[in-house]
Structures are given as structure tokens and as C-alpha cells.
Structure 1
Amino acid sequence: MTPPFKADPAFDPGSVVVCDWPLCQVRLQDDAHFPWLILIPRRAGLHELEDLTAAERAILMDEVVRAGAVVRMLGEAAQRPVQKLNVAALGNVTAQLHVHVVGRRHDDGLWPDPVWGRGEALPYGANALQAAASRIRLSGAG
């Protein structure tokens, strides 16, 4: 019997669950500097892309593209259009397979450096975080 999916608790302090897509749990990173989603495939024991079946990898790629559209929508809603999408499955800190989809701008304060582990997060605040999560759900992408 396969154990049930559980997101690593390390995701909890910096992100919130927004919804589930066919493969992934979708989380919104609580950092108003960047529109930023985290996709976590809802399968137990995954660490690498190779741990997914070929069919699951195809679904994950579709969900990454879908997340990119959502990230662009969040940027537009904040009147800060996304100029570049950063997509990465690092796993150096949290080994559970997950993919970051981050909207970047040339004036975002860290450009052109990566966002990973750089600078202090700017929490949305409860109302803004809920509004962003609702936008995601209402966009038809959630």
C-alpha cells in the first residue's frame, strides 16, 4: 500500500495551500516581492523528476506552464507585469520534489540574481494573501 501524500512541513512557514490540480498541490509563496507558486506532486516519497512516471512528468510540465500563466496573472493584478518566468526544481533545502514558478521583473530588487535564499521575504499580510489565493482559484486555473 502506498503511503498518503503529505507536503513536507518545511513548506508551511513560507507558503499557503491554494488548491490541488490533477497532479500537484499548488502553494502560494508568502512573498509579495514576487508572484510565486510552488507545485508539489501529490505522490509520497518523490525526490527527483525521475521518480515520476513518464505520464506524470508530462502532467507536471503542463502544470508548470499553467502555473506560469497564473504567475503572470498575479503580476498583472499587482500592476507589476512579469517580464521573465524562473522555473526550478532545486530541492537542496527541502528534498521533497517540488517546482518553483516565480515571476521576475528587471526592477524587482534582486534582478538578475536568483531569488533562492536571497533577501528578506515581504509577507503579503492576511487580507492580501487571501485575495491572491482567491484570484488564483477564480482564474479558472485553480
Structure 2
Amino acid sequence: MQNTTSKNRYNKLAVQSNAGNSLNAADGDKFTLDTRLASDSFLLAHWPLCDVRRFDDERYDWLMLIPRVDNSVEFTDLSAPQQQQLALEVQQVSLLLKQVGIGQKLNVGALGNVVSQLHVHLVMRHPQDPAWPGPVWGHSAAQRFDESARKQEIKRWQALL
């Protein structure tokens, strides 16, 4: 676990936004998650703009933020308040991963070459991980959590989020 100064400490309440309805994040029944994202991850939390999901690979501390905004493919598809909220939520997940995640290097990316729906990957990396120093994407098949480990992982992250 990495030590952080109080200035950089993760603050659970910081993801709460004063932007209110200007975010226009879709309600659960209106938002459609890409089937590949759904099958490769599991839900941890609903934040003001994004669903926070855990990538289903036990080798990495790997979270994703998926804005609940219809037809969003690029960052520029979001309104200015949505862009600001996404940046805030990325910052909060980043600080959390740096505080409690296993690794020395945080990778943040929104590639979208395979899944066009806007989503941001946040992955803690370390020299002993199987893909180091290359990208985790496409390196090898995911080592998925079994049901018991998945439930434990959900509890772990929900307590932190």
C-alpha cells in the first residue's frame, strides 16, 4: 500500500457533484451497457455520472468508469459539465487505486478500438504482472474470479468506494 499525503488522500465524498441534473446521466433502465463490457466486468457502484465496474481479471487491480450517457463514444461527446465530472471521477478512482491498489504504476486509458462505448480503464501495474511492461489488453486470457472471490471483491471495493 502506497503512503499518501493528506493532500492526495482519496476522499469518498469528492465524487459527489454539485452539477445536479446538468449531468444528464441516464437512469438505470435507460442506459445500455455494451455487452462486451458487461461480460468482462462486474458492477461496483453508481456514481453521479459513471458506473464503476471491476474488470474480471484477478491478476490486476483494474477498475473502469463508464459514463451513463447515451451514444457517448468520445470524451468530446460529453457536455462540459459531464467532462468535468468524468475528470473528477477518474481522479477519485486514481487516488483510490494508488492508495489501496497493488502496484507502482497507474495506467489510465480510454482506447475504444474494440468497444466504442466511452469507458475509462484504470489499472495498477507492477513489474511482476504478467503483461509488464506491455499493455494488459490482449496480452493473455483473463483469469476470472470464481463466484466466491467475486463476491469478496465486490465487498472490498464497495467498502472503499
TM-score scaled by structure 1? 0.87
Q: Which amino acid aligns with 1:33?
A: R
Q: Counterpart of 1:125 in structure 2: which amino acid? A: D
Q: Which amino acid aligns with 2:71?
A: G
**Greater than 6 Å deviation, 4+ residue runs:** none
Whether the aligned pair in 2 keeps the contact of 1:74 and 1:132 (CA below 8 Å) is no
Matched residue, 2:121:
100
1:73 CA drift (Å)? 5.2
Task: Tell me what 1:31 maps to.
Answer: 57
* Contact kept? 1:87, 1:99, Cα under 8 Å: yes
Bigger Cα displacement from structure 2, 43-52 vs 63-72: 63-72
Residues 86 and 101, structure 1, Cα contact 8 Å, conserved in 2: yes
Task: Count residues in correspondence.
Answer: 134
The alignment partner of 1:108 has SS state of: coil
* TM-score of the pair, normalised by structure 2: 0.77
**CA distance in 2 between partners of 1:65 and 1:71 (Å):** 10
What's 1:78 paired with?
Answer: none
Does the 8 A contact of 1:35 with 1:74 survive in 2?
A: no
Greater C-alpha Rg: 2
Query: Does 2:130 align with 1:109?
Result: yes
Structure 1, unmatched stretches of 5+, are: 76-80
The match for 2:20 is none
* Number of the residue aligned with 1:128: 149
